[in-house]
Amino acid sequence: MLRLRDVVQRSVPPRNSPLYSGLWQRDGYKTQPGPQVTEQPGLKRFSTAEATVQTGAGHPCRMREKSLTMASLSPQVKAVEYAVRGPIVIRAGDIEKRLQQGGNESFTEVIKANIGDAHAMGQQPITFLRQVVALCCYPELLQSPSFPEDAKQRAQRILQGCGGQSLGSYSASQGVECIRQHVAEFITERDQGVPSDWNNIYLTTGASDGIMSILKLLVSGEGSGRTGVLIPIPQYPLYSAALSELDAVHIHYYLDEDSCWALDIEELQRAYLSAKQLCTPRALCIINPGNPTGQVQSKKCIEEVLHFAYEENLFVMADEVYQDNVYSADCHFHSFKKVLYEMGPEYFNNVELVSFHSTSKGYTGECGFRGGYMEVLNMDPQVKEQLVKLLSVRLCPPVPGQAAMDVIVNPPREHEPSYAQFIKEKSSVLDVLAQKARLTEQILNSVPGIKCNPVQGAMYAFPRIFIPPRAIQEAKARSMAPDMLYCLKLLEETGICVVPGSGFGQREGTYHFRMTILPSPEKLTVLLGKLKEFHLRFLEEYSQEGAQSSSLHREEGVQSSSLHREEGVQSSSLHREEGAH
């Protein structure tokens, strides 16, 4: 019987033979000069895909042209932009590495206020959630007296729903059945008895995965039949990035900054009617509580939106991942589903609605688990079959993330041993976030040239900033958006990393930045103090008269250019940074 080595040796011509050289030269492989290496025939030659091919000087070869280049790359991919991890964040990473290597800066650390990553900012995990997931990952711990019985019971229930009673097995594409049932029970309890069918629940890899899956179902057509999707401006860049990737039309409706970023139904109608001339509007996206704007929509506003969607036959996508993050005493979270139910059977049985939730936000901040769910209402049964087919392509969401989602929808009850500690930890996280929301608003509004709406919910402030004309001119000369210049200088002078408002969309002639309120109260106070000092220096540096900043009032910090109601529907990315890459 021939050994593998013998087969390999017989199938390859000797290295010094004309046939060997001719094979490589014919196929156009480039050779690399280097020392000759004595090798065991048939083994080292094929031991790694990165091995270089060496030929004699008499056999020059050319490097083949690459199949995938920027010229052949999908134009949809090139159109995708995601400011939350864009140029400013890349630059922040470079500075951070330089500091770690002993480089000199006027600051000692980079404060990353660009993204809603709670644990990275120092928030501690919820004990009960981690206990249940730990028990699921290492079932031997079920015998340990260190874990409470209610955590063990939940872990056992989850494991019973997993193949081989292991978190390492695939689940059904829609998710583990018992977890979907718990999600439906959670929704029914949250919405005070509004029924939820677990067959309409789909577990997802974070909310983003569900949003992308639904958009894939919605987008089709060409020309005037091309799908248009209404998205808020400002918006979370996931939506614009996803629509660019799918080559759908972005239909922008502007939130009302002067009314604390409320959704104006007349603006929604304007955007819809303008878009109908160019595409076929099929869906409406709402983020409530808002990202990046931090507003909490009123029940009346939601009713108007749902009535509008009913009249225009629009598919509604309700992004509700911040439903636990409401800080203003006069604001309350109202789920789109509950409001739809209360509008009566004609609405509840007809409006197509999908709502999203996630482990990443709320009081848990478990971004890394990538857990989430979506509830789908009134979807055509045949389309639901196509949705399941689409979800099965990615097999299933991460099962540990599904387990984390289960704890969020099935927390300890009042009679259970973990309840007291759970409530203490949950309340502490939300109380501190509310404190930081107020602190951020107060300090930003004390700075001349900055105006910040109340942070009613979510995890961000989106203040409006005055940028002097000279700074705008410099930004244009450097082929970047003015607020990109502002944020870049803020980073390089203070180490504070925030995201320019142009990455989220904003009205022409206005400038903003988004910052998270997640740093600890002590670090947030330092951050806001540095930001205030920087802004005053920035105004003075670019003032026409050199001392203009001392006379600026907060109200004058609003850009004086008129806020035009833009009529155009933008099918390319909304970001205005022309040279930000």
Condensed to tens digits (0 to 9), the pLDDT of residues 60-73 reads 677 778 878 788 77
User: What was the pLDDT predicted at 55?
Assistant: 53
Reply yes or no: is the peptide bond before residue 234 cis, omega within 30 of 0.
yes
User: What was the pLDDT predicted at 85?
Assistant: 61
| pLDDT > 70? residue 446 | yes
| pLDDT > 80? residue 541 | yes
Q: Distance of CA 141 to CAs 70, 147, 155, Å?
A: 51, 8, 10
SS3 199: helix
Number of Cβ atoms within 10 Å of the Cβ of 216: 16
Between CA 294 and CA 444 the distance in angstroms is 15
| pLDDT > 70? residue 269 | yes
Q: How confident is the model at residue 315 (pLDDT cuts 50, 70, 90)?
A: very high
| pLDDT > 50? residue 578 | no
User: What was the pLDDT predicted at 33?
Assistant: 47
> Going by C-beta distance under 8 Å and a sequence separation of 6 or more, which residues neighbour residue 34?
52, 54
Q: Using alpha carbons only, how large is the chain's radius of gyration in Å?
A: 28
pLDDT digits (tens, 9 = 90+) for 275-310: 998 999 999 999 999 999 999 999 999 999 999 999
User: What was the pLDDT predicted at 82?
Assistant: 61
User: What was the pLDDT predicted at 98?
Assistant: 87
Contact in structure between 487 and 531 (CB atoms under 8 Å): no
Question: Average pLDDT, whole number, for the chain?
Answer: 84
For residues 498-519, give the mean pLDDT: 93
For residues 535-554, give the mean pLDDT: 66
Q: Which of 105-119, 187-201, 480-494 has the lowest mean pLDDT?
A: 105-119
For residues 92-96, give the mean pLDDT: 86
Greatest Cα-to-Cα distance within the chain, rounded to the nearest angstrom: 93
- For 531-561, the three-class secondary structure string (H helix, E strand, C coil) is HHHHHHHHHHHHCCCCCHHHHCCHHHHCCCC
User: What was the pLDDT predicted at 579?
Assistant: 37
Which among 320, 335, 374, 361 is positioned nearest to 212, based on CA atoms? 374
User: What was the pLDDT predicted at 234?
Assistant: 94
Between CA 262 and CA 269 the distance in angstroms is 15
Between CA 398 and CA 370 the distance in angstroms is 7
For residues 403-413, give the mean pLDDT: 96
Contact in structure between 8 and 46 (CB atoms under 8 Å): yes
* End-to-end Cα spacing for the chain: 60
Number of Cβ atoms within 10 Å of the Cβ of 107: 15
User: Percent of the chain, pLDDT > 70?
Assistant: 82
For residues 503-509, give the mean pLDDT: 91
13-22, 316-325, 390-399, range with greatest mean pLDDT = 316-325
Contact in structure between 498 and 515 (CB atoms under 8 Å): yes
User: What was the pLDDT predicted at 84?
Assistant: 57
Between CA 524 and CA 441 the distance in angstroms is 12
For residues 83-105, give the mean pLDDT: 81
pLDDT digits (tens, 9 = 90+) for 249-263: 999 999 999 999 999
User: What was the pLDDT predicted at 80?
Assistant: 66
* Cβ-count burial 243-252 (b if 16+ within 10 Å, e if not): bbbbebbbbb
| pLDDT > 60? residue 3 | no
For residues 505-509, give the mean pLDDT: 91
| pLDDT > 90? residue 58 | no
Which residue stretches of 174-259 are H helix? Answer: 177-190, 206-218, 237-245
For residues 374-399, give the mean pLDDT: 93
SS3 228: strand
For residues 508-524, give the mean pLDDT: 94
Sheet holding 499-500, edge to edge: 460-461, 513-516, 499-500
* Cβ-count burial 142-172 (b if 16+ within 10 Å, e if not): eeeeebbebbbebbebbbebbeeeebeeebb
Q: How confident is the model at residue 240 (pLDDT cuts 50, 70, 90)?
A: confident
pLDDT digits (tens, 9 = 90+) for 122-153: 899 999 999 999 999 999 999 999 999 999 99
User: What was the pLDDT predicted at 53?
Assistant: 56
Which among 134, 206, 213 is positioned nearest to 401, based on CA atoms? 206
8-12, 26-30, 111-115, 448-452, range with greatest mean pLDDT = 448-452
Which among 422, 407, 455, 440 is positioned nearest to 523, based on CA atoms? 440
pLDDT digits (tens, 9 = 90+) for 459-477: 999 999 999 999 999 999 9
Residue 400 is encoded by which pair of tokens?
């540990």
User: Percent of the chain, pLDDT > 90?
Assistant: 66
Between CA 170 and CA 180 the distance in angstroms is 15
For residues 417-441, give the mean pLDDT: 96
Residue 94 is encoded by which pair of tokens?
């470079």
SS3 231: strand
Task: Kindly state the DSSP code that residue 405 receives in the 8-state scheme.
Answer: H
Number of Cβ atoms within 10 Å of the Cβ of 89: 19
Q: Distance of CA 81 to CAs 127, 262, 292, 479, 578, Å?
A: 36, 26, 16, 17, 11
User: What was the pLDDT predicted at 451?
Assistant: 96
Q: What's the pTM?
A: 0.80
Q: Any bridge partners for residue 201, and if so which? A: 375
User: What was the pLDDT predicted at 115?
Assistant: 84
Between CA 185 and CA 193 the distance in angstroms is 9
User: What was the pLDDT predicted at 209?
Assistant: 92
Number of Cβ atoms within 10 Å of the Cβ of 19: 9
